[in-house]
Every structure is written in C-alpha cells, then in structure tokens.
Structure 1
Amino acid sequence: MTSQLPSPIGASQASCPSDDLSRIFEMRFTSTPRGARLARQLAANRLDAWGVPYGTGPHEEIALVLGELTANAVRHGHAPSRDFRLLLHVSAPAGTVRVEVTDTRTERTPPEPDMLCAPGSEDTGGRGLLLVAALATRWGWHLRPGGSGKTVWAECVFATPT
C-alpha cells in the first residue's frame, strides 16, 4: 500500500487550459524575514520553470519586485500569528507577470503610486516602493475585501522566449 503526501507547505498551483499558457502560484508564508526569503526563493524557482529563466534581466527584475513586496509585508504588514499571502500569475502569451502580496494590517497603507517621494539622503529606508515603481510596468494597492488587510500588487512585462 502506498500513500500520497500532500503538497509542500500548502502550495496551490492552477493552470488555465493548455492553449493559454497562464500559470498561477499561491501560498501563505509566515510574516517573518525567513518567510519573505522563502517566498522569493520559491517564486524565483517557479518563474524559471515557467519560462522566465534565472540570470535573465526579466527574472532578476521580477524577483526584486517580489522581494520588495514580501519584505514590505513583513515590515509594515506584520501582525502576530498572521501570515502573508503571495499570488504569482504569469501569462506567457501576454508576457505579463502579476505579483500580489496580501497582509493583515489595514492601518499601514502605502502611498498612492503618484504620491511616492524619495527619502532623504540620511534615511536608511523608504526606497523599496521606488524600486518597484521603477521596475514594474504598473503597481498599486487595495484594501482586502471582506476582511482586514491590504493587497499590494505589481505587474511586469517580459519578452516571451522564442
């Protein structure tokens, strides 16, 4: 008799019909620096498997955007005993990657995209969303419907491999 083990750490993956090369990766992570690091590593691996290879400009840019959003969820969205959720959606035909990170804190929201301003030269933080804005095609945030928290998202366009 054999038994089948569940997928690791509650990962879910859905893919659309075979004629649409969209891919979805969704997982919850502990709201800790270790959780943010694991989210970045697993998503980077998934991007590579889905045709955005390691070592390419698009992969590095998307991984940086994803890393900033997960780090912000830990730093600004942390609530004790609450996880953050990562959703990665790759649409190969459109050449678009959408990264969504949802945390459980409503009272700490990012500025609107058109209201970002550079921190002072002596400030040690405050540059993450500027990096996201520079690398992503577009980004934004919204309150989580039906519960506490918010989702910060970013979309990056990449050239589909030929």
Structure 2
Amino acid sequence: MNTEITLAGAEFVQRFTATRRGVRLARRLAVHQLDEWGVPYGSELSDDVAVIVAELAANAVVHGYVPGRDFELRLTAGAGGLRIEVSDARGERRPEPRPQVAGSESGHGLHLVEALAAKWGVAERVVGKTVWAECRAGGSAP
C-alpha cells in the first residue's frame, strides 16, 4: 500500500475549541487531510497520526486550557513524512512522559506519542507552547 505524501511542503492549519468535541474533530480532519495528500485511511501512517493528534489535542484541552482560548493543529507534509504540531495557550505546563502507574487510567498519552513518532518535543511560543511530533511515511518509528 502506498503511503507516500504527494504534496511535500503542503500545510494544513486549523483552530479548534478546547473541548472534547474539538479533539475529535481535530483527529478526524487530520486523517481526512492525509487522505487528500495521498495517505489512505487505515494505512499505518494515517492510524499513527490519528492517535498522535488525539493524544496531543487531548493534552492541550486538559492541561493547556485557558478559558476562551482555542488550540491549533498544524500538519506539515514533507518528502519523508509528516510533522504534527498542537499549540495551546498555556506555556507554563510543559508535557513530560511520566512513569506508568499500574492501574492508572490516565498518563499514557505521551508514551503512545513517544512509541509512534520518530521524534517529538515541545517548543515555546509567544503565548503558550507547541507540542510537536514527526512521523515517517514508511513507518512511524526509526
């Protein structure tokens, strides 16, 4: 199955309300945009991006929430893969993967991002922060 992104350099940017509905919509629009760029629904890259967008967007809503402020999703297509960025308005709360606690129902999101992305990190902005992840077209992890 071909998962080559056909529009290297193409970019998708959208703001969403900082709600659970915004998270769901961000995930759905991300995989739709990938399909438009030549990455079919259900491919490994599409599925990985869906999980990463959902986790980063959920973190933006839960941990980066500022009343009245949205979060932003940016997808940038490259020749070898995709860069995912989720920005929120709260810069003082920087994400870090925490050790998993047995029986815990939360705190696993960044471990999923770490497992699926080739690399990820956090960048400061004038207002807030951007959490980013990069996925390779031929497979997520190196």
TM-score after normalising by structure 2: 0.88
Aligned-pair identity (%): 49
Q: Which residue of 2 aligns with 1:158?
A: 137
Q: Which residue of 1 aligns with 2:3?
A: none
Cα distance, 1:49–1:77 mapped onto 2, change above 3 Å: same
Following superposition, which runs of at least 4 residues in structure 1 exceed 4 angstroms of deviation? none
Q: Which residue of 1 aligns with 2:94?
A: 109
How is 1:33-48 mapped onto 2 (pairs within 5 angstroms)? 33-48=20-35
| Cα distance, 1:20 vs structure 2 | 6.4
Gaps of 5+ in 2: 1-5
1:23 pairs with 2:10: yes
SS of match in other structure, 2:10: strand
Number of residue-to-residue matches in the alignment: 134
Letter in 2 for 1:109: R
CA distance in 2, matches of 1:84, 1:151: 10
1:52 pairs with 2:2: no
Gaps of 5+ in 1: 1-18
Between Structure 1 and Structure 2, whose CA radius of gyration is higher? 1
How is 1:10-159 mapped onto 2 (pairs within 5 angstroms)? 21-91=8-78, 94-111=79-96, 116-144=97-125, 147-159=126-138
SS of match in other structure, 2:95: coil
Cα distance, 1:20–1:99 mapped onto 2, change above 3 Å: closer
Letter in 2 for 1:125: S
| Greater RCO, CA 8 A, separation 6+ | 2
Q: Is the 2:20–2:58 Cα contact (8 Å) retained in structure 1?
A: yes
